[in-house]
C-alpha cells in the first residue's frame, strides 16, 4: 500500500520540482559483484518504458553526472485498528534527495532551500488512491546529515565524496494515515501458463 502513496508523490514531485532529473518510488537493496568486490546499492524496478535499460532494475546511487536523485525507503506499515468494514493503517517511509550544489547554483552551501522546495510541493492531503481512502501525509522529521541514510549501502563514495560539498542530501521521514474498506481488496487471480 505504501507503494501506491509514494508513486502518487513521485508523480507530483516529478511535475513540480524542476531540479530533479532522476526520481523513483520505493527502492530495494541490491548486491552486485564489481571487480571482485560485492557492492550494495539502492535499486528500483524499471516500470518506465521511456527509460532505455537492459536491466529490469535501475541504480539510484549518487552519481556526479546528475543534478539530483530522489527515491523513497519503506520503513514499515502498522495496522492501527480493524472495524467491521474498514482497516486503518499508518505507513512510514523516508524521502531521500541527493543533489549536486554545482549543478543547482554555484553559491548554495546548505540544504535549507532544497528542503523548502520539497516541502512546498508535498500535499498534506492526498485524498483517495484506490483502494486507499483519505490518505493524509505528515513530514515527521529530517534526518541528520551525517551519512547515516547511506550506511546500508557499501559504495565508498557516499562516505567520502558524495555527502560532502559540492554534494549534499536531505532525508525526510514521513507518515501516511489512511483506511481501506475490506471489500475493496481485490481477489488474487493466478496466471495460467501458456503452452
Q: Which alpha helices (H) appear in the chain, and where do they start and end? A: 2-16, 101-104, 112-121, 157-160
Q: 116 in a domain, yes or no?
A: yes
Dist. CA 121–CA 10, nearest whole Å: 11
Q: 193 in a domain, yes or no?
A: no
Q: 24 in a domain, yes or no?
A: yes
Give this prediction's pTM.
0.85
Dist. CA 151–CA 167, nearest whole Å: 17
Domain count, the chain: 1
**pLDDT at residue 170, as a whole number:** 94
Torsion of CA 114, 24, 65, 20, to 10 degrees: -40
Q: What is the CATH number of the domain that holds 70?
A: 3.30.2000.10
Q: 163 in a domain, yes or no?
A: yes
Q: 192 in a domain, yes or no?
A: no
Report which of 112, 136, 113 is spatially closest to residue 123, judged by C-alpha positions.
Answer: 136
User: What is the mean pLDDT of each successive set of 10 residues along the chain, which is 195 residues long?
Assistant: 94 90 88 76 65 62 85 96 93 94 75 90 94 96 88 64 82 96 83 70
Q: 142 in a domain, yes or no?
A: yes
Exposure of 31 in the CB half-sphere (CA atoms within 13 A): 6
Three-state DSSP state, 104: helix
Residue with cell 509514494: 6
Radius of gyration of the chain measured on its C-alpha atoms: 18
**pLDDT at residue 122, as a whole number:** 95
Estimate the crossing angle of helix 2-16 against helix 112-121, to 10 degrees.
110
**pLDDT at residue 49, as a whole number:** 46
Domain that holds residue 32: 2-183
Q: 104 in a domain, yes or no?
A: yes
Q: 73 in a domain, yes or no?
A: yes
Amino acid at each position: 500500500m505504501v507503494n501506491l502513496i509514494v508513486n502518487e508523490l513521485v508523480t507530483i514531485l516529478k511535475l513540480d520540482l524542476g531540479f530533479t532529473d532522476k526520481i523513483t518510488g520505493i527502492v530495494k537493496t541490491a548486491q552486485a559483484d564489481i571487480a571482485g568486490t560485492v557492492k550494495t546499492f539502492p535499486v528500483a524496478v524499471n516500470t518506465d518504458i521511456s527509460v532505455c535499460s537492459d536491466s529490469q532494475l535501475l541504480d539510484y546511487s549518487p552519481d556526479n553526472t546528475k543534478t539530483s536523485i530522489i527515491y523513497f525507503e519503506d520503513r514499515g506499515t502498522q495496522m492501527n485498528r480493524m472495524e467491521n468494514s474498514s482497516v486503518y493503517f499508518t505507513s512510514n517511509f523516508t524521502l531521500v534527495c541527493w543533489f549536486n550544489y554545482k549543478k543547482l547554483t554555484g553559491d548554495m552551501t546548505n540544504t535549507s532551500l532544497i528542503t523548502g522546495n520539497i516541502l512546498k510541493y508535498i500535499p498534506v492531503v492526498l485524498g483517495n488512491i484506490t483502494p486507499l481512502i483519505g490518505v493524509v501525509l505528515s513530514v515527521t522529521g529530517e534526518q541528520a546529515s551525517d551519512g547515516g541514510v547511506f550506511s546500508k549501502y557499501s559504495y565508498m563514495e557516499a562516505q567520502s565524496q558524495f555527502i560532502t560539498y559540492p554534494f549534499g542530501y536531505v532525508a525526510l521521514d514521513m507518515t501516511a494515515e489512511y483506511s481501506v474498506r475490506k471489500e475493496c481488496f481485490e481477489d488474487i487471480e493466478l496466471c495460467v501458463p501458456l503452452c
